[in-house]
Amino acid sequence: MSSVYDLLPANGIPPAHIHRDVPMSTCTTFRIGGPADCLVDISSVNELQTVLAFIRTHGLPFIVIGNGSNLLVRDGGIRGVVIRLSSLFSSISEAAQFTPSRSSGSFIRADAGVSLSALAQFAATHGLDGLAPLSGIPGTLGGAVLMNAGAYGGEIGELISEVSAVSTETGELVTFPGHQLTFSYRNSSFMSMPHIITSATLFLSPGDPDRIRARMQELSVQRREKQPLSLPSAGSTFKRPQGAFAAKLIDDCGLRGFRIGQAQISEKHCGFIVNLGNATAAEILTLIDYVRDVVFKQTGFTLEPEIRIVGENTTRPGGNAL
């Protein structure tokens, strides 16, 4: 059966970048999610603009993803287009032309699809400090900027010098200086902007490569000790409520290890919901609702999900092909 997506190659998108009926469980660290009608891997700003023009012309719904490490996709999957900015769009360079002085620091510019770990390694190799706390976050730069990802006292927003993004409404590439953007706990200006982040320039301070790598290694050990990294998850399920820690509240309510089907409050870290094998999104969502209810009734704190929940509850009748 022919579909609107058959027209994408004619619009200049390489066929190898276009994937149909993609199980989103293969695109998320939760390993959960029904099929996406069409997923396009982006390799340049031009390709992104072309896909957005196609989407506008045909009135298609879409979402953007990076590494899918903060996403819960519902079991019915995603109608329309998933635009993925990851390894095909991941160059990094030292922006030497902007360097004010080696003693005060330096800039690096990277595409949105670069992984935070690769970015941190690049910075360490170039004797640039500031990314070590974020090096173990399994996301892309684009996802990190949108989420203002942070760990061990550092947040990506603190390092931002400028961000380039394509407007989903006009297709225009715009560069926003850092002072025009706001970042707060797991929040950024981009959450309310119709833009897809394409690159960011970060300002980093000088540091000794060996010491930076040693710090990254130390934090990676801490993560492995404290977090349930052997099971699929999307990281911390809930945001930290004002004046408390979500994991402690959940633990205090006796929910450590509590499970619904294959969805479980991690035995190792109560802030994580883990997929024990073949959990459905419905099970994760039921567990989220249950935890929020119990924690509110027992402690008065309202837990808000940190993970982003997208997609449909049910698959398209008669299959997913448009």
108 versus 197: smaller Cβ distance to ligand FAD: 197
Among the listed residues 147, 153, 151, 231, the one whose alpha carbon sits nearest the alpha carbon of residue 190:
147
* Contact status: 22 vs ligand FAD (CB under 6 A): no
Q: Does 157 bind ligand FAD (CB under 6 A)?
A: no
Which of these segments, 7-15, 66-74, 173-181, 263-271, binds ligand FAD (CB under 6 A)?
A: 66-74
Distance (Å, whole) CA 252 – CA 266: 14
Out of 25, 43, 49, 70, name the contact with ligand FAD by CB under 6 A: 70
Active site residues: 186, 236, 306
Beta carbons of 47 and 17 less than 8 angstroms apart: yes
235's torsion region: left (phi>0), alpha (psi -120 to 50) or beta? left
133 lines the binding site for ligand FAD (CB under 6 A): no
Cα–Cα distance measured from residue 310 to residue 80, given in angstroms and rounded to the nearest whole number: 12
Q: What is the largest CA-CA distance in the chain?
A: 63
Candidates 133-141, 245-253, 254-262, 286-294: pick the segment binding ligand FAD (CB under 6 A). Answer: 133-141
Q: Does residue 266 interact with ligand FAD by CB under 6 A?
A: no
**Interaction between residue 90 and ligand FAD (CB under 6 A):** no
Is residue 284 within 8 A of residue 307, CB to CB? The reply is: no
Q: Of 131, 159, 196, 285, which one interacts with ligand FAD (CB under 6 A)? A: 196
Q: What is the CA radius of gyration of the chain?
A: 20
Nearer to ligand FAD, 105 or 114 (CB): 114
If one asks whether residue 219 binds ligand FAD (CB under 6 A), the answer comes out as: no
- Contact present, 302 and 242 (Cβ < 8 Å): no
Identified binder of ligand FAD from the candidate list 38, 71, 253, 288, rule CB under 6 A: 71
Which listed range, 65-73, 203-211, 251-259, 283-291, lies at the site for ligand FAD (CB under 6 A)? Answer: 65-73
* Beta carbon nearer to ligand FAD, 147 or 253: 147
- Cα separation, 142 vs 119, in Å, equals 12
Q: What residues from 273 to 312 belong to the interface with ligand FAD (CB under 6 A)?
A: 308
What are the E-state strand segments in 99-250?
Answer: 106-111, 128-129, 150-151, 154-155, 160-167, 173-177, 183-184, 187-188, 195-206, 233-236
Should residue 105 be labelled a site residue for ligand FAD when binding is judged by CB under 6 A?
Answer: no
Query: What is the Cα–Cα distance from 174 to 197, expressed in whole angstroms?
Result: 9
Of these, 66, 77, 105, 207, which contacts ligand FAD (CB under 6 A)? 66
CB of 106 to ligand FAD, least distance (A): 23
Shortest Cβ distance from residue 150 to ligand FAD (Å)? 5
**What is the separation, in whole angstroms, between the first and last Cα of the chain?**
9
Query: What is the number of alpha carbons within 13 Å of residue 157 lying toward its C-beta?
Result: 18
Of the residues 40, 48, 110, 147, which one makes contact with ligand FAD according to CB under 6 A: 147
Please, what is the angle between helix 209-226 and helix 116-125, to 10°? 150
User: What amino acid occupies position 93?
Assistant: S
The answer to whether residue 137 forms part of the interface with ligand FAD (CB under 6 A) is yes
Among 36, 45, 149, 291, binds ligand FAD (CB under 6 A): 149
The residues that touch ligand FAD, with contacts defined as CB under 6 A, are 29, 63-71, 85, 112, 137-140, 142-144, 146-147, 149-151, 190, 196-197, 227, 229, 233-235, 308
